[in-house]
């Protein structure tokens, strides 16, 4: 996308700026003179992106001393006067300086070029500096509208850098908030109880683009870090992420399967949006969603004891859900067998099922495997009754 250029400025400027330190942005005059000294009047989008990346990464901690002169001698002797002792970069000075030298700079192109090796947003201060630079650049170009979020959401090559950017945005919604930007949103109108979209941390998860990009990052070697970002969602705002995970288009990845499994359990318990969410999931166009929901039900039931809950009450709840979704027949054809057998027995007690016929059909279909599973089931029940 970006226009590539040659010469010193295109490759070495980020390192030279770093070597000069914060004095590089003492003033527009000095900054412009330094840029002229090192590369003439041609400033390329990729170079500007790399310099901004350096500034975001090194916003504090640089040595005040400079190993390079501030400007060349012909620039008027600014390097001889007493230097300022700024403790960070003045991005406004840098933005104005490069625009004076290169009035045709395209800031969407510069944002695209943030996808370069070494780009990293390591903390809140780095995010503040980065977003200030990008917004100033867009304003200088006369782009006053919505931020071009497609350049953040696209699939970056430097996934480490993209992940660091998303981590800091999610941790600092007061600096830059996904919820305030243009995106494809989940259909929250189907929810019985609406989420508090005035809360930025909740509204953020309405973005389908955000969820899709995080899944891409997880699939690109960052599954652990993405899982950490999403870990709090089941308790915090389960409705939005589960809708997002159901409504996005990508394939069902391992992380997406795990997240849906966890979130479905929230709605198997008492929740005002349970009926809507579970029905939306069961009737999903993706044929892979039903098995995930059924396995989530089975796991929720089988872990009742570990979670200090009552097995029977959970099984009763699952049967009610199955009846509401008209899903009992499909669920009784599923696995794991211990769960399915227990569900079939309860369904028989409620006269939803002829248990003898169902058992005969299962033995005919699965043979010894099902018989062995039934024996183990009965032995487990017998041990529990003794205890």
List pLDDT tens digits, range 272-322: 999 999 999 999 988 899 999 999 999 999 999 898 899 999 999 999 999
Q: What is the DSSP letter of 179?
A: G
Q: Which residue has the higher pLDDT, 7 or 350?
A: 350
Q: pLDDT tens digits, residue range 100-122?
A: 998 899 999 999 999 999 999 99
The predicted structure's pLDDT at residue 82? 42
pLDDT recorded at residue 197: 87
Lowest mean pLDDT among 20-24, 104-108, 349-353, 382-386: 382-386
Residue 38 confidence (pLDDT): 81
pLDDT of residue 83: 47
pLDDT digits (tens, 9 = 90+) for 37-61: 887 677 889 999 999 999 999 999 8
The predicted structure's pLDDT at residue 79: 41
Q: Which residue has the higher pLDDT, 294 or 250?
A: 294
Structure tokens at 288: 């892979």
Write down the pTM of the prediction: 0.85
Least Cα distance to 321 among 356, 285, 346 occurs for: 346
Closest CA to 281 of 236, 320, 245: 245
Calpha distance 114→140 (Å, rounded): 18
Q: What pLDDT digit, counting tens, does each position of 145-155 carry? A: 789 999 999 99
Residue 59: phi and psi, rounded to 5, are -70, -20
Closest residue by Cα to residue 26 from 110, 74, 68, 82:
82
Can you point out the beta strands (E) in the chain?
none
Interval 322-378: pLDDT, tens: 999 999 999 999 989 999 999 999 999 999 999 999 999 999 999 999 999 999 999
Query: Mapping DSSP to helix (H, G, I), strand (E, B) and coil, where does residue 185 land?
Result: strand
Q: Are 107 and 148 in contact (CB under 8 A)?
A: no
Give the tokens for residue 173. 């919604």
What confidence score (pLDDT) does residue 286 get? 87
Both tokens of residue 60? 């504090």
Give the residue with greater pLDDT, 295 vs 234. Answer: 295
Backbone dihedral angles phi then psi of residue 185, each to the nearest 5 degrees: -105, 150
What pLDDT is stored for residue 119 in this prediction? 97
* Res 5: pLDDT: 46
Find the range with the poorest average confidence among 2-11, 58-67, 122-131.
2-11
Confidence band of 250 (pLDDT split at 50, 70, 90): low
270 pLDDT band (50/70/90 cuts)? confident
């Amino acid at each position: 996308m970006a226009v590539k250029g040659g010469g010193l400025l295109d490759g070495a400027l980020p390192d030279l700026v770093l070597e000069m330190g914060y004095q590089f942005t003492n003033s527009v005059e000095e900054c412009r003179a330094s840029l002229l000294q090192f590369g003439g009047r041609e400033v390329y989008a990729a170079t500007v992106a790399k310099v901004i990346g350096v500034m975001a990464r090194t916003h504090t901690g640089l040595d005040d001393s400079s190993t390079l002169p501030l400007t060349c001698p012909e620039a008027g002797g600014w390097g001889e006067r007493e230097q300022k002792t700024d403790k960070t970069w003045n991005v406004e000075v840098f933005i104005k300086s490069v625009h004076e030298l290169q009035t045709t700079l395209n800031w969407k192109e510069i944002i695209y070029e943030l996808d370069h090796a070494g780009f990293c947003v390591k903390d809140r201060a780095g995010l503040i500096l980065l977003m200030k630079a990008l917004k100033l650049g867009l304003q200088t170009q006369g782009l006053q509208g919505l931020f071009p979020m497609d350049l953040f959401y696209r699939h970056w090559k430097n996934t480490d850098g993209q992940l660091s950017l998303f981590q800091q945005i999610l941790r600092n919604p007061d600096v830059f908030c996904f919820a305030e930007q243009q995106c494809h949103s989940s259909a929250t109108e189907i929810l019985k109880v609406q989420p508090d979209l005035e809360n930025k941390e909740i509204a953020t998860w309405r973005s389908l683009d955000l969820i899709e990009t995080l899944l891409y990052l997880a699939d690109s070697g960052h599954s652990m870090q993405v899982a950490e970002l999403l870990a709090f969602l089941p308790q915090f705002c389960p409705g939005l992420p589960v809708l997002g995970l159901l409504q996005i288009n990508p394939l069902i990845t391992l992380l997406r399967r795990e997240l849906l499994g966890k979130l479905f359990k929230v709605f198997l318990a008492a929740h005002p949006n349970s009926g809507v969410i579970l029905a939306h999931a069961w009737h999903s166009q993706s044929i892979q969603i039903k098995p995930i929901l059924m396995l989530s039900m089975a796991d929720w039931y089988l872990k009742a004891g570990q979670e200090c809950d009552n097995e029977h009450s959970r099984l009763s709840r699952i049967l009610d859900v199955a009846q509401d979704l008209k899903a009992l027949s499909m669920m009784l054809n599923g696995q794991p067998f211990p769960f399915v057998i227990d569900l079939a027995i309860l369904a028989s007690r409620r006269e939803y099922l002829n248990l003898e016929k169902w058992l005969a059909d299962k033995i005919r279909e699965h043979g010894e495997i099902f018989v062995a599973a039934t024996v183990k089931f009965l032995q487990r029940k017998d041990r529990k009754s003794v205890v």
